[in-house]
Amino acid sequence: MKISAYTLLTLFLFSFQVTLLSSFNPFGIQPDFCLVIACLIGFRVGPVHGLIVGFGLGFLQDLFSAGPFGLHTLTKAGAGFLAGVFARHLSNRRPHAAFVPVMACSGLSAMVFLLWSRMGMGLGEMLYGFSHILLPQAVLDGFVAIMVNWVFGRWPVEAPSS
């Protein structure tokens, strides 16, 4: 049951991100909704769930990405897992508590992409990528996470029994 729900969720989220959400890019930066959701599931349900959902979402993104295969899968799975581990040491689960872990996971994930996609293009391209893509996206993902976490907070979330 949970696997079916996660499958549907990943399919819907991915389709939503590449179509309807693609027009939403404040300051020229598109929030990574898939990463935010993977982190929030890790944050609220547990690291393994974050890892599973992150893996699924990342895999779908890799299928339709113009970049190398596997980067999204590994970074999203890692981000979902890390956010879950972070949450285990957190007593405050209010919406704004998601800001720091999601921002940190987004920043780490973006760093992998920055190194991979801009390596060998000169320091200027790297610095531009860092200041104009990595940092704004990490902050934007953090704010999106607060909003989504607030919406999640309307409904109780429970870990599955099997």
For residue 151 the two structure tokens come to 């919406």
Smallest distance from the beta carbon of 112 to another protein, in angstroms? 9
Is 37 exposed, middle or buried, given 0-12, 13-18 or 19+ CB atoms closer than 10 A?
Answer: buried
CB 47 within 8 A of CB 81: yes
SS3 93: coil
Nearer to another protein, 65 or 100 (CB): 65
Closer CB to another protein, 104 or 118, in the complex: 118
- Of the pair 4, 156, the CB lying nearest another protein is at 156
For residue 147, the Cα-to-chain-centroid distance in whole angstroms is 14
In the bound state with another protein, the residue whose beta carbon lies nearer, of 47 and 101, is 47
CB 155 → another protein: shortest distance, Å?
Answer: 8
CB of 48 to another protein, least distance (A): 5
* DSSP for 109-159, written as a single string: HHHHHHHHHHTTS-HHHHHHHIIIIIHHHHHHHHHHHHHHHHHHTTS----
Report, in Å, the least distance between residue 145 CB and another protein. Answer: 14
Which parts of this chain interact with another protein (CB under 8 A)?
11-12, 14-20, 22-23, 28-30, 32, 34, 44-49, 51, 59-74, 77-78, 81, 93, 110, 113-114, 116-118, 121, 125, 128-129, 132-133, 137, 152-154, 156-162
